[in-house]
Amino acid sequence: MAIDRTPCLIVTGPTATGKTRLAVALARKYRGEIVSADSRQVYRGLDIGTGKDLQEYGSGDQRVPAHLLDVVNPGEEFHLFRFVQLAREAIEDISSRDRLPVIVGGSPLYLQALLDGYALEGAGPDPAWRQELEELSDAQLLEMLRQQAAPELLARTDLTQRRRVIRALEIARSGGGNFPREGLHNTLILAPKYPRAVCHQRIELRLDQRLAQGLPEEVERLHQQGLSWEKMDWLGLEYRCLAQYFQGQLSWPEMRQTLLARIRQFCKRQDIWFRKMEREGKQIHWLPEGDFALACRLTEEWLSGQSGFCTR
């Protein structure tokens, strides 16, 4: 079966809504395997801060297989083009064994690349040229990109992320851009949903849990193993703010409050992306408070029309 018609269950949604737990439960129930679509869970050692929740997958014979977790070391580069390649390989492998690919994650660019059939093409990173670009201001980089990038490449670049602007400049310089490929057109998209105020409460509770469960120690350990503070900043959110704390740039209360605000801002950006998906015609089945029974009913109705799958 061509990958564009391969049945794929997608579990997405705003941060801190229980996507991993729901996806694993569905994979366990419907003979599935997880494909992570998270831009940071590909890094080894970034466990607590990225919310890998490895305990959710189980252990031994009861463990649900997961793909695209712990793919590269944190000092290495990992780009959208490589993600799409690996994700497509994982989907084809899972489907070839008559199992259900369950894609889970809230990284908008990664999910959109799979759904819409676009990947970023272009040469690999150019360290020498990157060094030259690092000496330019954000405004200068943005102006260069606007002058050089193809419209679709520009539209799909997060212009608020300096590292993504630099990567897009590399792609534009090599003559690359977005090119159409087979997307995923046989999907069911499920998303846990909570009221905004509840979602903000869940974000704060989860943050405090992660800080108490060893996130600061994780950041210290990564730094002792050779991950620079600059790279921590590049990894964003939890790693950026804790790096600033350990360097004395933020007090503990300042770090926590800054991080909380940034995670909530990230949640808002995700909401904007989901609304864009729906405007583009993609149907998202919102699950009030992650309603598992509703998720099962929708999944069974969808799978009943797929050959090779049994819902019981």
pLDDT in tens, 111-154: 888 898 865 555 566 777 788 888 888 888 888 888 777 666 77
Lowest mean per-residue pLDDT among 19-23, 109-113, 204-208: 109-113
- Residue ranges per structural domain of the chain: 120-180, 196-265
Q: Name the residue among 214, 143, 134, 193 with its Cα closest to residue 172.
A: 143
**Tens digits of residue pLDDT in 238-262:** 999 999 999 999 999 999 999 999 9
Residue reference for tokens 């469960």: 213
Give the separation between CA 29 and CA 38, rounded to whole angstroms.
Answer: 23
Q: Which CATH class is domain 196-265?
A: mainly alpha
Strand-pair category, 100-104 with 284-288: unpaired
The candidate with the shortest Cα–Cα distance to 119, out of 166, 72, 171, 159, is 171
Rounded CA separation 111/120 (Å)? 13
Average pLDDT over residues 219-238: 93
pLDDT tier at 312 (50, 70, 90 boundaries)?
very low
Q: Are 215 and 38 in contact (CB under 8 A)?
A: no
pLDDT at res. 176:
55
The pLDDT of residue 76: 85
- Gap between the Cα atoms of 251 and 227, Å rounded: 22
What pLDDT band is residue 219 in, cutting at 50, 70 and 90? very high
| pTM confidence score | 0.82
Residue type, 262: R
More confident residue, 128 or 286: 286
Over the chain, what is the mean pLDDT? 89
